[in-house]
Chain A
Amino acid sequence: YSTFPLSPKWNKEDVTYRILNYTPDMLQEDVEEAIAKAFQLWSSVTPLRFIRLHSGEADIKISFASGFHGDFYSFDGPGGTLAHAYHPGKDIGGDAHFDEDENWTKFTTYSGFNLFLVAAHELGHSLGLGHSNVFGALMYPIYMGKDTRDFRLHQDDIDGIQSLYGPPRESPTKALPSQEPTEKTPTVAPSEMSPHEEPTETTPTKPPARPEDCDPHLTFDAITTLRGEILFFKDSYVWRKSPYFRDIEHDTISSFWPSLAGGFDAAYEVDKRDQVMFFKDDQYWAVNGYNIQPGFPKPIQSLGFPRNVRKIDAAVHDQSTKKTYFFVGHRYWSFNENTQSMERGYPRKIAADFHGIYHTVDAALQKNGHFYFFHGAKHYEVDVKTKKLIRTMKSNSWFDC
């Protein structure tokens, strides 16, 4: 954690705040609730109490504005900088500004930024905290969308704020979950954005170790081509096979896409759009190179899946027909990338159309006119045109074992 130079702080326990205006993106009551819950996070671990004023001068003034808004730090349109806040002090000191050009939401799964999470971070500045370089801490400068149910401060955040204000009068110095809104937020797996921490724990959990390249039992969660290369995914790990270098490169998902670090269920490339689509549980993202496209994640139902489909096992795009095949259990769907719609007559049984494939598909790849369907520690080479099985190989055969 860090503090501002000379560690300015409020020299009183009763700190007032006022909401000067509202974003049209959310209901006013939802804005008020997000702000109140954000303050509650900090009051639960300090002696501070936050009192809302509806008029007059408050210590912490909260407002939404876009572009230039009267201070030296103009906002920058959608994305980029989301908000900023000033350390404790007179006048603008303590104030928190939120970029109105962002899409503010009470959710964490759809396009936009969760106001509670961003407000909790900014109010940390309003109370005197600087940024933390601890991945997973609330005061880490990068936005990390997390499940806000049972949200807890990281121990680093608690250590930081208590270095300024001390612990609460009656409670210990351990993190307490915030009392979250009772509305059911759309489903998001708690671990999907940050492999290092579950929302209910204050210390990072250890991710599973990277499997050995030539482990005969090696399996993959998802595989995709990307600009001539092939990426194999397992948990948070990536194996990268490229025609530009000889050896298999070891990476983590977070080294390419930090906000998608939790792993994938399925992935495929649409080469004519220079896009890769990633799937995790009931959401998917479109990515161009390193950039996640605005408006994502979206629910998989927006592709045409029925509501009872909660995740995809595998996906592969056929460049010749512009169709994408999605595998779920023993069935598959065909999606027309040109019309962006599911084809009629699906789902169909995998075994009925892909001769010799009698099981589920964990991951899939198209390369050199063949499909490769991975199941367990084996994979199956299938002719794209005839959809007939050609041969069976070990899953790690791509790594020159």
Chain B
Amino acid sequence: LPVIPEKEKEDMQFAQKYLENFYDFKEEKSSLFKSKDLNPMSKKIQEMQSFFGLEVTGQLNSQTLNMMKQPRCGIPDVRS
């Protein structure tokens, strides 16, 4: 659906929190080495999309974000 641009940053932060809670995402805070992956959440988004049967793009598209906003159980879907 058409997007309101200023919400995009909010959505990314929401998605990061979701992936931390349920998909064991850990943001690399200070690293001596530059990450090769410019979108560190991409793999975790893929994992989440695969779990829910969404199209696996690694991108935070509208369907993925909407799935993240559904009321749910607090237990992670994957675990370390």
Contacts and interface: CB of A to CB of B under 8 A. Distances in A.
Interface of A: 4-5, 73, 75, 79-85, 102, 113, 118, 121-122, 125, 130-131, 133, 135, 141-143, 226-229, 244, 255-259, 289-291
Contact of A228 (B2, B51, B66, B76): B2
B53 A135 contact: yes
B77 A131 contact: yes
Contacts of B75: 84-85, 125, 130-131, 141
Interface in B1-21: 1-2, 21
Given A227-B1, A227-B2, A82 B71 contact: yes
Contacts of A80: 71-72
- Secondary structure at the B interface, as helix, strand, loop or mixed, is loop
A134 B63 CA distance: 18
Nearest to A84: B74
A386 to B, nearest CB: 32
A226 B1 CA distance: 9
A17 B73 CA distance: 20
B74 A73 contact: yes
A258 B1 contact: no
A215 to B, nearest CB: 26
A81 B66 contact: no
A4 B77 CA distance: 10
Given A81-B74, A121-B73, 10 more contacts: A4-B79, A5-B79, A102-B71, A131-B75, A142-B52, A142-B70, A259-B70, A290-B1, A290-B62, A290-B66
A258 B66 CA distance: 8
8 contacts: A80-B72, A81-B21, A84-B73, A133-B51, A141-B72, A226-B1, A256-B62, A290-B65
Contact of B53 (A102, A113, A133, A256): A133
A204 to B, nearest CB: 12
